[in-house]
Amino acid sequence: MEISDQKILPAIHSMKDFDKMLKYSFEYGVFLDLHVGMLKSVFAYANQHDKKMFLHMDLIQGLSNDEYAAEYICQTVKPYGIISTRKNVIKRARELNVKAIQRTFVIDSNAFKRSVEQIRHSDPDYIELLPGVIPKMIERLKEETGKPIIAGGLIDHHDEVFSALDAGASAITTSSKELWSYFGK
């Protein structure tokens, strides 16, 4: 996966958001909050526009978030990649050669330690660190795991994007249309 040239990964909450994303040069994005019945048509639409989309497995409405659901999604919907907080989902996606982003929330030092252990077990392609507004945690997690970091959560100004990137993040996930516009030329 070569998202390093794309600093922003638009986080899509609706098809209206996806249509806004299409106005920019973004190749990669993330679908959030989708109903299981919409998955095939939404990904067909994305493929028509040559967009490589990740699917946030934890936020699919009407589908369990386990390794069996991941297998079903990877084999039938065929997203470019998936995002999940669950290590078994990440592991199954990787076994099926689908890009995987392990989402982790670091709120204190214990959460950091648990995250590192889980990441070592699941071996994702990328880590999405939330909240993404703490540059020292981006540096520490990247150093501790050796994995590329995507920062997300609470980033709503271009200076915060630059701070996260300077700290070692490969990209930023955001639903902020202002940031899409700023970085999506």
- The domain segmentation of the chain, as residue ranges, is 8-183
Which residue, 161, 119, 162, 160, is CA-closest to 143?
119
Q: What is the mean pLDDT of the chain?
A: 96
Alpha helices in 52-108 (DSSP H): 67-72, 87-95
Read off φ and ψ for residue 87, nearest 5 degrees: -65, -35
Cα Rg, the chain, nearest whole Å: 15
The Cα 7–Cα 5 span in angstroms is 6
pLDDT over 60 (residue 56): yes
Architecture of domain 8-183: Alpha-Beta Barrel (3.20)
pLDDT over 50 (residue 158): yes
- Rounded to 5°, the CA angle 23-24-27 comes to 120
Q: Give the up-direction half-sphere exposure of residue 107: CA atoms within 13 A in the CB hemisphere.
A: 1
Q: In sequence order, what are the residues at sequence separation of 6 or more whose Cβ sits closer than 8 angstroms to the Cβ of residue 73? A: 39, 55, 57, 60, 63, 79, 82
pLDDT over 90 (residue 4): no
Helix (H, G, I), strand (E, B) or coil at 143: helix
Please answer whether residues 118 and 94 qualify as being in contact, where contact means their C-beta atoms are separated by less than 8 angstroms.
Answer: no
Average pLDDT over residues 18-27: 96
The Cα 70–Cα 92 span in angstroms is 7
The Cα 144–Cα 140 span in angstroms is 6
Q: What are the tens digits of pLDDT across the range 164-179?
A: 999 999 999 999 999 9
Q: What are the tens digits of pLDDT across the range 83-128?
A: 999 999 999 999 999 999 999 999 999 999 999 999 999 999 999 9
- Which H helix or E strand runs over 105? strand 99-105
pLDDT over 90 (residue 2): no
| Residue 121 structure tokens | 């077990």
Residue-level pLDDT at 121? 96
Please answer whether residues 139 and 168 qualify as being in contact, where contact means their C-beta atoms are separated by less than 8 angstroms.
Answer: yes
